[in-house]
């Protein structure tokens, strides 16, 4: 038995052509299970030939239509024909790309002397669907695995390699960054009037709370042999009051992130931040985050988790002292708990008093505890007290009444961002992924990965290509 697949095409002016595309044969009697239906290799070959015929006929018809001058309706002269290879999801296709000279009736206009019609429809020499799939899968797995995965199911070219996947993926990210830089941050006018009497209590509370920015960092191995072995990637989330928010990520380096400070007005404008509303930044207290909060005119809050970890170190030492100094350890533990309770309720100025009481009970601090083995735990306790006192004094401006914020249902930690660091950075760029990154490459890949995990990559492509088809599978897949 033999089948012949014929492609019948009807042009816009009524011309009909029939082109044989693929021939398939099967035996009648000696039929094996592996010969039933289409195999994967046959399906890939059929799709490749069908794609080739479709694109060539589309390119010829579009180029013929664009040759007609839109003003005088005369055929424009031919400059040259050049072969051009277009990368598609079903294999590369080579077409004859003509270049037309601009008609004489339009020479005095602001037009280039020649133009290529195929460059108008495919400026990237790649179909949007292939560009989308390369960017999506490259954000979830290494570049080489993307090549092997797609070549397993699609008739892609054998010349497709990891460098091509990386370049096309980063090109999409660069286009997204350019669109973000060009976006004008239009903020609503400040609202000085009070909330209306009929407004609900949650709406009024959300209006008073303002926009919240949570930030954290993760470390990525650097490929720069002359610099540091690791560099930081910042990941965060900008949340509107009482609603959802938008995730962001960047590498704090002018060479990696040319947008820099221009990113924040756009993010705040997207969340509807008004000048009359407060702005809050929660972080681990890094100097860069504190400086950012000061530049934005925001209130910086130290993450409660990092505060508790400082007290946990003190409690561990006190638990070790319960055997050698049971009475003193119990009293010191009570003072440490009291200091933590005061810090939870925003009384950071009284925290130092409780810590100083423990230090006074230790006796004269000039005595060299480390010269005697039995006094080694006391030395560790003294150093932990000094470190905690310096920490509270240095971050006094970022310590707030955590208990009051917690009772109001507001955030007091960056736990949601710490999980994002694991999803965005850890699973793709660190941990078991033994690879090194440039700062620019890591910054651009973070933009693609955030768009995929947050489900916004489809919207980006629909904005670029209004007729972009909707994929059947959801894009927000776990990495």
Instruction: Please answer whether residues 251 and 443 qualify as being in contact, where contact means their C-beta atoms are separated by less than 8 angstroms.
Output: yes
**Residue given tokens 């990891």 in the structure block:** 162
**Residue scoring higher pLDDT (158 or 91):** 91
Sequence-ordered list of residues with C-beta below 8 angstroms from that of 413, at least 6 positions apart, any chain: 282, 303, 304, 305
Give the C-alpha separation, 230 to 222, whole Å. Answer: 5
- In 249-303, which residue ranges form alpha helices assigned H by DSSP? 263-270, 287-296
Q: In the prediction, which pLDDT does 373 show?
A: 46
> 442 — phi, psi (to 5°)?
-65, -40
Give the C-alpha separation, 95 to 63, whole Å. Answer: 11
Q: Domain limits of the chain? A: 2-125, 209-303, 305-398
pLDDT in tens, 425-459: 888 887 766 788 889 999 999 999 999 988 889 88
Sequence-ordered list of residues with C-beta below 8 angstroms from that of 280, at least 6 positions apart, any chain: 209, 210, 211, 212, 213, 298, 299, 300, 301
Q: In the prediction, which pLDDT does 327 show?
A: 81
Q: In the prediction, which pLDDT does 473 show?
A: 52
Q: In the prediction, which pLDDT does 97 show?
A: 87
Question: In which band, very low, low, confident or very high, does the pLDDT at 381 lie, cut at 50, 70 and 90?
Answer: confident
Q: What is the mean pLDDT of residues 189-208?
A: 43
Q: Is 337 helix (H, G, I), strand (E, B) or coil?
A: helix
Q: In the prediction, which pLDDT does 244 show?
A: 77
Q: What is the mean pLDDT of residues 392-418?
A: 88
pLDDT in tens, 289-337: 999 999 888 899 999 988 888 888 888 888 887 777 788 878 888 888 8
C-alpha distance from residue 122 to each of 78, 86, 127, 129, 345 (Å): 20, 8, 7, 12, 61
- Bridge partner residues of 10 (DSSP): 16
Q: What is the mean pLDDT of residues 159-173?
A: 91
Q: Where are the beta strands (DSSP E) in 204-342?
A: 211-221, 230-239, 245-250, 279-283, 299-302
Instruction: Please answer whether residues 474 and 453 qualify as being in contact, where contact means their C-beta atoms are separated by less than 8 angstroms.
Output: no
Helix (DSSP H) and strand (DSSP E) numbers for the chain: 17, 10
Q: Would the pLDDT of 478 be above 60?
A: no
Q: In the prediction, which pLDDT does 235 show?
A: 92
**Residue scoring higher pLDDT (225 or 252):** 252
Q: Would the pLDDT of 371 be above 50?
A: no
pLDDT in tens, 115-147: 888 888 888 888 899 999 999 999 999 999 999
Question: In which band, very low, low, confident or very high, does the pLDDT at 357 lie, cut at 50, 70 and 90?
Answer: confident
Q: What is the mean pLDDT of residues 188-195?
A: 42
Side-chain-side CA neighbours of 242 within 13 Å: the count stands at 13
pLDDT in tens, 241-273: 766 788 999 998 888 888 888 888 888 888 888
């Amino acid at each position: 038995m033999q089948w012949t697949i014929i492609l019948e095409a009807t042009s816009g002016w009524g011309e009909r052509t029939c082109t044989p595309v693929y021939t398939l044969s099967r035996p009648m009697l000696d039929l094996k299970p592996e010969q039933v239906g289409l195999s994967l290799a046959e399906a890939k070959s059929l799709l490749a030939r069908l794609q080739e015929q479709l694109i060539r006929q589309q390119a010829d018809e579009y180029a013929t239509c664009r040759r007609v001058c839109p003003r005088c309706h005369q055929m424009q002269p031919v400059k040259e024909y050049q072969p051009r290879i277009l990368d598609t999801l079903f294999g590369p296709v080579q077409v004859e790309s003509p270049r037309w000279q601009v008609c004489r009736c339009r020479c005095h206009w602001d037009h280039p002397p020649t133009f290529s019609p195929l460059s108008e429809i495919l400026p990237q020499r790649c179909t949007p669907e292939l560009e989308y799939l390369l960017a999506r899968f490259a954000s979830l797995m290494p570049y080489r695995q993307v090549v092997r995965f797609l070549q397993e199911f699609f008739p892609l070219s054998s010349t497709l390699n990891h460098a091509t996947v990386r370049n096309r993926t980063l090109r999409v990210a660069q286009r997204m960054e350019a669109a973000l830089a060009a976006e004008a941050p239009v903020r609503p006018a400040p609202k000085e009037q009070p909330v209306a009497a009929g407004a609900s209590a949650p709406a009024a509370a959300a209006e008073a709370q303002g926009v919240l920015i949570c930030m954290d960092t993760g470390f990525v191995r650097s490929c720069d042999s002359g610099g540091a072995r690791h560099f930081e990637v910042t990941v965060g989330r900008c949340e509107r009051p009482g609603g959802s928010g938008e995730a962001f990520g960047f590498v704090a380096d002018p060479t990696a992130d040319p947008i820099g400070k221009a990113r924040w007005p756009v993010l705040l404008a997207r969340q509807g931040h008004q000048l009359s509303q407060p702005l809050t930044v929660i972080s681990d207290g890094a100097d860069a985050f504190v400086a950012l909060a000061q530049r934005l005119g925001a209130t910086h809050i130290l993450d409660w988790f990092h505060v508790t970890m400082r007290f946990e170190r003190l409690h561990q030492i006190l638990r070790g002292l319960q055997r050698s100094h049971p009475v003193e350890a119990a009293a010191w533990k009570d003072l440490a708990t009291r200091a933590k309770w005061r810090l939870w309720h925003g009384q950071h100025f009284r925290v130092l008093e409780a810590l100083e009481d423990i230090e006074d009970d230790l006796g004269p601090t000039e005595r060299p505890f480390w010269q005697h083995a039995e006094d080694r735990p006391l030395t560790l306790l003294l150093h932990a007290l000094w470190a905690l006192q310096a920490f509270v004094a240095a971050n006094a401006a970022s310590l707030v009444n955590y208990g009051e914020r917690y009772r109001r249902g507001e955030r007091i930690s960056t736990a949601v961002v710490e999980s994002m660091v694991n999803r965005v950075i850890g699973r793709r760029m660190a941990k078991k992924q033994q690879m090194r990154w440039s700062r620019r490459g890591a910054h651009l890949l973070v933009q693609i990965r955030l768009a995929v995990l947050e489900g916004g990559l489809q919207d980006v492509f629909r904005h670029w290509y209004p007729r972009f088809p909707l994929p059947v599978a959801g894009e927000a897949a776990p990495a």
